């Protein structure tokens, strides 16, 4: 089996990281964020974007899908705690989930309410 060097985050380090991850919180030992979507199609698009990033990372979140929400939960199973891998994946997921064309881009962006 592959060797892993899970770095479990101390409470202090976790709090520091959470400041850089708006909307993310720790609940029952899981790093968690709820994305609110405009409805079912965007829920499925976001779920698949997260799945793609997670597979590239080879670190996978638990996902709970609702009609207009995607709940992402991260934990490192080997240590049953939040590790540096969970933080790194949360950042990668958040970049994709919250990405929009920047001001001045030739892209207009989605004309209606987007994922929050
Ligand atoms: C070998 C491989 O790294 C492990 O099975 C990975 C797969 N994806 C995983 N995902 C998450 N969230 N936690 C893990 O501990 C984990 N383990």
Q: Whose CA is nearest to atom 14 of ligand 1?
A: 76
Alpha carbons 53 and 70: distance in angstroms, whole number:
15
Distance 76 CA to ligand 1 centre (A): 6
Q: Whose CA is nearest to atom 1 of ligand 1?
A: 2
Q: Which of 100, 91, 83 is nearest to 24 (CA)?
A: 91
pLDDT value at position 7? 94
Q: Are strands 30-36 and 69-74 parallel, antiparallel or unpaired?
A: antiparallel
The full set of domains in the chain, from first to last, is 11-98 (3.30.1360.20)
Question: The pTM is what?
Answer: 0.94
pLDDT in tens, 32-49: 999 999 999 999 999 999
pLDDT in tens, 53-105: 999 999 999 999 999 999 999 999 999 999 999 999 999 999 999 999 999 99
């Amino acid at each position: 089996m592959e060797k892993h060097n899970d770095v479990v985050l101390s409470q202090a380090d976790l709090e520091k990281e959470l400041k850089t991850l708006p909307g993310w919180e720790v609940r029952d030992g899981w790093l968690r964020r709820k994305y609110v979507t405009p409805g079912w199609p965007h829920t499925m698009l976001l779920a698949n974007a997260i799945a793609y990033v997670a597979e590239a990372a080879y670190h996978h979140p638990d996902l709970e899908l609702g009609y207009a929400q995607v709940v992402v939960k991260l934990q490192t199973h080997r240590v049953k705690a939040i590790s540096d891998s969970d933080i790194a994946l949360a950042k990668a997921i958040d970049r994709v989930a919250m990405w929009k064309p920047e001001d001045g881009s030739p892209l207009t962006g989605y004309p209606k309410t987007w994922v929050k």
